[in-house]
Amino acid sequence: MGLIDTWKLQLRTTFTDGDPAIPQWQFEFEKGDDVGYFPVDSAVWTVHSSMTPTVAGIRALLLQTLHPGAMAGVHAHSGFREEPLGRLANTIRWIFTVTYGSTEAAQDGSAFVQRLHTRVNGTYLDSRGEERPYSAGDPDLIRWVHLAFTDAFVASHAAYGGRIPGGADQYVAEWAQAGEVMGLEDPPRSEAELASQLAAFDAELTDSEQVQEALTYIRRPPLPRSQRLGYQVLFAGAVATLDPRHRELLGLRVPSLGPVRLPIRTAVRLVLGVIRLGLGPEGPAEKAAKTRIRRLGGSAGTTAH
């Protein structure tokens, strides 16, 4: 196997928790009897089929750590220390299932995640130092995770992506359906509502030893040497898009790119382009979904990235 082929294989396995084979579940999106929640020309499909979710995933993890209830669940019940990329692979699977799957697939996938949440519970110290119980199924925590992901997708695509059909408001309104399928009531449906609901959490957010421990894994995950410089560029890009108040709480500054003597936006777009080259113009999950849509008589043309 040549150097390029080795690099491409390493790149793909980063998103599949080390599995060199393309996961079978990505081909399952050919099945189903409807288009699903998001048509090919939707704002959600456009954003999620671009490369900006690579940055958004890092940004969402950074933001999520600031809620002590969410952080307690990750710290006590997640294998992020031993298998930090496993959590990434599971998150990708849920996002792909809701984005590309049929309505039934999206609902079944979300129900599976909700069942897992019933096992995640315990206590944590809130921002005032008071002990409180938590469950991953708590409405407030479901809302926080949804807001963190939505804000990350919007901010990352605004900084490093192209045009969104209908703009950011359309994306937020469409992705509200993903929140609802996870049991969230009254998710934001515009950028203004997203900002308002995020601000309502300000008093609950805090830094802690658990946050800083998680940051060490987010900052330097166990990647092959060939991907480390690119990841540092993406990490810098994610930090650069954070709201200053969140960046300050995390104790982060926009990192220097060191040997990469390019503006962050240019450097991030370059790295995303290289990743796209390595993974190919269209992933198997998206291809399978388009096959289903064509079978159903719908349009499955190319989305604008």
- Residue 298 to residue 52: CA distance in whole angstroms: 26
Rg (CA), the chain: 19
Q: Is residue 164 part of a domain?
A: yes
pLDDT of 302 > 50? The answer is: no
Domain carrying residue 146: 3-295
Q: Is residue 226 part of a domain?
A: yes
Residue-level length of the chain: 305
Q: Is residue 265 part of a domain?
A: yes
Q: Of 42-51, 58-67, 187-196, 214-223, which gets the smallest average pLDDT?
A: 214-223
pLDDT tens digits, one per residue of 102-122:
999 999 999 999 988 888 888
Q: Is residue 301 part of a domain?
A: no
Comparing C-alpha atoms, which of 200, 145, 153, 197 is closest to residue 172?
153
Q: pLDDT exceeding 70 applies to what percent of the chain?
A: 85
User: What pLDDT is recorded for position 78?
Assistant: 60
Q: Which residues of 15-43 are buried (b: 16+ CB within 10 A; e: fewer)?
A: bbbeeeeebebbebbbebeebbbbebebb
The total number of structural domains that make up the chain: 1
User: What pLDDT is recorded for position 305?
Assistant: 38
Q: Is residue 272 part of a domain?
A: yes
Tell me if 142 sits within 8 A of 110, measured CB to CB.
no
User: What pLDDT is recorded for position 304?
Assistant: 38
Q: Is residue 19 part of a domain?
A: yes
pTM score, two decimals?
0.89
Q: Work out the pLDDT band at 257, boundaries 50, 70, 90.
A: confident
**CA–CA distances in Å: residue 267 to residues 59, 89, 151, 263, 274:** 17, 25, 22, 6, 11
Q: Is residue 230 part of a domain?
A: yes
Q: Work out the pLDDT band at 210, boundaries 50, 70, 90.
A: confident
Q: Of 51-65, 142-156, 228-242, 254-268, which gets the smallest average pLDDT?
A: 254-268
- Residue 285 to residue 7: CA distance in whole angstroms: 21
Averaged pLDDT score across all residues of the chain: 87
Residue partners of 19: CB distance under 8 A and separation at least 6 = 13
Q: Is residue 253 part of a domain?
A: yes
